[in-house]
Amino acid sequence: MQESIQSCVFKNGWLGKREKTLFGRERTLDNPEEMRFGIALERFTAQLEHPLPDAQWSGIITNIARKAFDTGMVDGVVTLHRSGEDHFFSKPVLALTPEEIYQSRGNKPVLSPVLKSLQAAFSKKLKKILVIGAACHIHTLRDFQERFPYLRDMDIYTVGIPCVDNVQRNRFHWILERISRSPDTARHMEFMQDFRIHIKHTDGSIEKVPFLSLPEELSNPNIFPESCMSCFDYLNSLSDITVGYLAARLLPDQNRQWVIVRTKKGKKLLDLVNDELKRFPEHGGWDCKKFVQGTADRIIESMKGLKTAYSPDRKIPLWLGQVISWLLYTTGPKGIGFAHYSVDFHLIRHYYFVKYQYPEQLAVLVPRHVRSILREYDLPL
Ligand SMILES: Cc1cc2nc3c(=O)[nH]c(=O)nc-3n(C[C@H](O)[C@H](O)[C@H](O)COP(=O)(O)OP(=O)(O)OC[C@H]3O[C@@H](n4cnc5c(N)ncnc54)[C@H](O)[C@@H]3O)c2cc1C
């Protein structure tokens, strides 16, 4: 516990010197893509030719983990299983068999103590492990690797998920009940590129709820953990390879994903599954400035936290939300432009959350590229 607090990103700050340690340099402020997406050897979109049933998307991460284990690249995988009591809740696991690795697939959209299983890996004297985690886990792991000789002696590979708007367990069902028409049958949930939340139900149907039609009470910044509202590494830039979906083309009946290979170890992980991927180049125009500017003032106002009462009513009716989200999707940024928009939206939101709620933390938490991006929009620092 004490070790985790000492190595916690909320004590040490995001990226900065840790990025330099991993890559030999910090991300450049001259390259707008690198500023947002982090240092990368390669980026592309892809899906597994044979998607894994019940994986979050096509299951690229679980397949990487399976192959890393089957080929002897690693002896165990530090990840999560479903809790057994609640479909959406997690329990940390050190997966030591192909079946245990397969069972780790799918999102558990709650804060999760992934790194707890490092202890089990140490006790079992494992020398080669794969860790799958969100950016906060990978930051802490990188600090552990610097501080603890036994982790320095381990050969550690990392797969990162992009992560945003994760929630506390005690809040999760309260939130789901306000999003879905049928929270009890919901099994899979994701905030999508078409400005709607897609919720898959047990009967296979997909409910699509426009962000703009959510009840107003879900725009209260206090419903998300303060840690997630202070996150400045949406795309998990210290992982060896990040696997998400943000810049991928959204197509019916396909589960395209977005892959960012960051290090030589990430390339070795990719090589394990490369033959099983259908690859597609990134697409979309880069520009999203007007789109971001259109929401920036509203976000900044809401981060001041002055509002105390939030209505349980929808901000706009569902039908109107469907029309507007369709318009935003058809006319708005696509592919890497959408990823650009989403990264900037969240870092603006988080910068002003920290600035207004924890001003003394600004200097510690905020990496330098964030201020460069705010300047692009002429936003006050
Ligand atoms: C809260 C949350 C928000 C996300 N937001 C985005 C986003 O905005 N944009 C985007 O591109 N991607 C996002 N992702 C990642 C995305 O949903 C997929 O996990 C990713 O694309 C991998 O898909 P896959 O089919 O390869 O995963 P799978 O093969 O199904 O494997 C998923 C892996 O992630 C692990 N995992 C699940 N939940 C957590 C968790 N809470 N903490 C740590 N590890 C976990 C699983 O145990 C498993 O190992 C988010 C994930 C989470 C949990």
The 3 state secondary structure assigned to 90-136 is: EEEEEECCHHHHHCCCCCCCECCCHHHHHHHHHHCCCCEEEEEECHH
**Which residue from 7, 18, 62, 74 is spatially nearest to 238, judged by alpha carbons?**
18
CA distances from 118 to 95, 158, 189, 245, 338 (A): 11, 13, 28, 28, 35
Q: What does pTM read for this prediction? A: 0.96
- How far, in Å, from the CA of 375 to the mean position of ligand 1? 31
Output the pLDDT for position 1.
Answer: 66
d(CA 22, CA 17) in angstroms, rounded, equals 9
Nearest Cα residue to 60 out of 71, 52, 69, 70: 52
pLDDT of residue 252: 87
Collapsed DSSP state (helix, strand, coil) of residue 232 = coil
Contact 177, 223 (CB under 8 A): no
Q: Are residues 55 and 110 in the same domain?
A: yes
What are 278's strand-pairing partners? 47
Q: Which residues, other chains included, contact 144 with Cβ-Cβ below 8 Å and sequence gap of 6+?
A: 3, 7, 115, 118, 151
Q: Is residue 12 located within the same domain as residue 82?
A: yes
Within a domain: residue 381? no
Task: Kindly give, in sequence order, each residue whose CB lies less than 8 Å from that of residue 113, ignoring residues fewer than 6 positions away.
Answer: 92
pLDDT for the residue numbered 309: 82
First-to-last C-alpha distance (Å) of the chain: 35
The total of other beta-carbon atoms located within 10 Å of residue 252's CB is 5
What are the φ/ψ torsions at residue 242 (nearest 5 degrees)?
Answer: -105, 135
- Residue whose token pair is 């794969």: 130
Give Rg (Cα) of the chain.
20
Residues 97 and 240 in one domain: yes
Residue 15 lies in a domain: yes
State the residue range of the domain holding 323.
Answer: 169-227+287-376
Give the CB-side neighbour count of residue 113, counting CA atoms within 13 A: 9
Same domain, 133 and 252: yes
For atom 37 of ligand 1, which residue has the closest CA?
107
Task: Tell me: do 108 and 57 sit in the same domain.
Answer: yes
Distance 105 CA to ligand 1 centre (A): 9
Query: What distances in angstroms separate CA 219 from CA 179, 303, 310, 362, one per listed residue?
Result: 12, 10, 8, 23
Asked if residue 111 and residue 22 are part of one domain, the reply reads: yes
Phi/psi of residue 80, each to 5°? -130, 145
Q: Provide the pLDDT for residue 376.
A: 96
Residue 25 and residue 128 in one domain = yes
CA distance 115 to 93: 9
pLDDT at 263: 98
Q: With beta carbons less than 8 A apart as the criterion, state whether 219 and 310 touch.
A: yes
Find the 164 Cα to ligand 1 centroid distance in Å: 10
In this structure, the residues whose C-beta lies within 6 A of any atom of ligand 1 are 55-62, 79-80, 90, 104-109, 112, 114, 132-134, 161-164, 166, 190-191, 243-246, 257-258
Assigned domain for 272 exists: yes
Judge whether 293 lies within some domain. Answer: yes
In this structure, the answer to whether residues 145 and 182 fall within a common structural domain is no
Q: How far is CA 277 from the centre of its chain?
A: 21
What integer pLDDT is reported at residue 305 of this predicted model? 75
173 and 312 assigned to the same domain:
yes
Question: Mean pLDDT, 10 residues at a time, over the chain (381 residues)?
Answer: 77 92 97 98 97 95 98 98 96 98 97 96 96 97 90 94 95 96 95 94 96 91 91 98 97 93 98 97 95 91 81 91 95 96 97 95 95 96 91
106 Cα–ligand 1 center, Å: 7
Residues pairing with 94 in the sheet: 78
Same domain for 46 and 179? no
Residue with tokens 């080929």, as numbered in its chain: 71
Instruction: Output the CA–CA distances (angstroms, integers) from residue 254 to 46, 48, 192, in the order listed.
Output: 10, 10, 13
